[in-house]
Structures are given as C-alpha cells and as structure tokens.
Amino acid sequence: MDNLKEDLKKQIIEQLNLEDITPTDIADDALLFDDGGLGLDSIDALELIVLLEKYHGIQVVNPEEGKVAFRSIDTMAEYIRKRKS
Amino acid sequence: MSLITTYCHLSADQCSVNGKVVSTRERSAAGSWFKQIYKEQEFVYPKFYKMDALSQAGFLASELIKRANQGIVNSYKDDEIAMLFANQSSSADTDLRFMHSYEHNGAPSPSLFVYTLPNIVLGEIAIINKWYGENMFAVLPKFAPGFFADYGRILLSTGAKAVLCGWLGVLGDHIEVFVWLVENESENGLDFNKENLLELAGI
C-alpha cells in the first residue's frame, strides 16, 4: 500500500468535508474533477492548493502545474514526490 | 389573499414543520445537529456537507417545507417564487470561522471564504430548485414581522406568486430559525400579516 496516496485521500476527505466518502471509495486513478470521479469544483481546487501547502509544504504557483497535478490521486502523489526530490 | 401555508422551525434542540416535531437533537450523536437532521430526514444532496451552517439551515428548512407542501414544486414557474430572508448576525458565524482558519490553521480556507456573505444561502436554495425569482437577504436588529409582511406584499404584487421567507438566526450554539411559505393562490393557511407572523415565529 502506498502510504502517501492513502494519506492524500484522508487529507482530501478532511479538507473538503467529503463526509460520505471513505478512502477506499477513491480509486488512485479516478478523475477528481469529473462527475464520474469525485466531482470536485473550482473552490475544491483552491482547497487542494491549501492542502498541499498545509500538509506537504508545497506551494503551487503555476496554474498549469495544478491542472496536471490535480487530475487524480496518482498524479498528486507523483507531483508531491517530484517536488520533494 | 396571501396566506402562510407551511412553516418550519429550527432551534438548538428541535426541528418542527407546521408545529409538529420531526427531529430532536441527540447530544451524544456524532457530527453537528444540522447533519443529524439531514441524515434522519434522508436528504440526498452531497453539497450539503460543504455548506456553512447558515446555508445548511436554509437548505434543511426549505427542503422540509417542500416535503410538507408538494405544491411548491409543481404549481409555480421558476420565476414565480421569490425569497425574502433576514437575520441579526449576517454571516458572522462563518466570518469567525474564516478568521480562525487563517489565524490558527496557517492558511485562509477558500471553501469558508465563499460563505462569508449572508445571501449565499439564497443562491444555494435557488441553485437546488432552479428558482429565478426575486430574492433579498436583510440584516436587521431583531426579528421584524412588519418588514416581512410589507416587503413580502410588494414581491407578491410585482410578479411573485409565492414567497419563501425566513429568519435565519445562526451564530455558534444560538439557533433561531423560522422559515415559512406565503402563497397567493391557496385556500388553506393563516393570513400573511405581522400579528400571525409574530405568534407563529415564537421569537
């Protein structure tokens, strides 16, 4: 099990108040901003930026980076590992 | 004649519709009181969890009124239902939480920021129901039945056929919510006047 991905799921649920969802409901490759995935909106995107800074000390300053990074749990984890390496 | 046809009360311990208790707070239950009502009443609208307390109060009361008065959904065009809400504390409940988010949690919360205006609750209700009628949120020193009666009549004489009115007192543990529906074309209800409002409100 990838701890970073599991942590990310818990952090997203807490930060975005997704009370009906558990980490197991979120597939690693599910599209976060697609209705078939988590169905997040633009305010949630801002919360994800806050989440990355709060929990991982990463500032997203380039909006284009966010577009790619926030596609899924997989891409978020990849982005965090890349920024920290 | 304009009549008050349905009404809902939310206090710190009870939720009632037309005077009949539909939920009683369980202090030992996990989560907030509003979430308890949401679950007990089996509403399904995931965005509820993202709303602030003021919008949750408006959502619950308006949905309970719709459930008790199915006509509101079917009898009116989307621009024939107006909304007229007010309270004493504006969005202070969320304003304080937002301040706390950047003073103590390191970063301002965007999802709290979007609720730092009291009229957002009107937008939430309008979006859910696709209502495009007039709407207004006033901040008043105290519950003012005369304000609702006078302004409500203006709305009902300028295109609206029904007005969803509400006093949304939500600040911390203080919950004093009274939401009611006024309809022009109904046979059953109480006259829409300030005396009846004062008596029904219990505020």
- Whether A1 has a pLDDT exceeding 70, the answer reads no
CA B90, B95, B97, B98 dihedral sign is positive
For B13, the token pair is 């311990």
pLDDT digits (tens, 9 = 90+) for B164-193: 999 999 999 999 999 999 999 888 999 999
The predicted structure's pLDDT at residue B30:
65
Q: What is the ipTM of this complex?
A: 0.73
Q: Give the residue on A whose Cα is nearest the Cα of B52.
A: A17
Looking at domain A3-84, its CATH superfamily turns out to be ACP-like (1.10.1200.10)
Task: Mutate one of B36, B49, B55, B115 to test the A interface: name it (highest A CB count within 10 A).
Answer: B49
Which among B46, B105, B107 has the least Cβ separation from residue A20? B46
Give the pair of three-digit tokens for residue B118.
Answer: 């009291």
Task: Tell me whether residues A50 and B110 touch, CB distance under 8 A.
Answer: yes
Q: Which residues of A touch B105 (CB under 8 A)?
A: 54
Domain-by-domain residue ranges, chain A? 3-84
Q: Chain B partners of A46 at a C-beta cutoff of 8 Å? A: 110-111
Range of the domain at B120: 3-201
Total structural domains within chain B: 1
* DSSP string of B45-60, one letter each residue: -GGGGGS-HHHHHHHH
Claim: this prediction has a pTM higher than 0.95: no
- Cβ contact, residue pair A47, B50, below 8 Å: no
The CA distance from B181 to the nearest CA of chain A, in Å, is 31
On average, the pLDDT of chain B sits at: 94
Nearest to A43 among B31, B49, B114 (CB): B114
Strands B14-17 and B20-24: antiparallel
Q: What are the pLDDT digits (tens) for A2-43? A: 899 999 999 999 888 887 789 999 999 999 998 778 889 999
Residue B28 sits in a domain whose CATH number is 3.40.47.10
* pLDDT above 80 for B40: yes
Give yes or no for a contact between B171 and B89, defined as CB atoms under 8 angstroms apart.
yes
With an 8 Å Cβ cutoff, are B106 and A20 in contact?
A: no
| Class of residue B134 by CB neighbours under 10 A (exposed 0-12, middle 13-18, buried 19+) | middle
Task: Report phi then psi at A29, rounded to 5.
Answer: -105, 10
Report the greatest alpha carbon distance in chain A: 34
